[in-house]
Amino acid sequence: MNINPKTQRQLKVQNIIFYLLVVFVVILLSQLSLKTDLRTDWTANSRHSLSIATTDFLTQLDQDINIQAFITPSHEYRSSLENLLTRYQSH
């Protein structure tokens, strides 16, 4: 293939457009991931999911449940507790 200056410029423009599109897609996906809350449990025994019995029980409740947890903001398990309570709250 004979590459003349015109072909070389076209290849550079195509490369620039391609890289801009890749950057745009990465930014778009990162923004989408910030706005959506998708939780999946890929463990074999569904270790990080609520059991079917628990979700059935929660859907049958006709009153709200109040939970008080006394934990310092800097405690190492605080985020784990918040994640657990969020899973219960979504039902």
| Domain boundary assignment for the chain | 1-36, 51-91
pLDDT averaged over every residue in the chain: 88
Q: What is the pLDDT of residues 59-75, one digit of tens each?
A: 898 888 888 989 999 99
Helix, strand and coil content of the chain, in percent to the nearest 5, comes to 55, 0, 45
Report pTM. Answer: 0.47
Q: Are 75 and 37 in contact (CB under 8 A)?
A: no
Distance CA 46, CA 53 (A): 13
Distance CA 71, CA 86 (A): 16
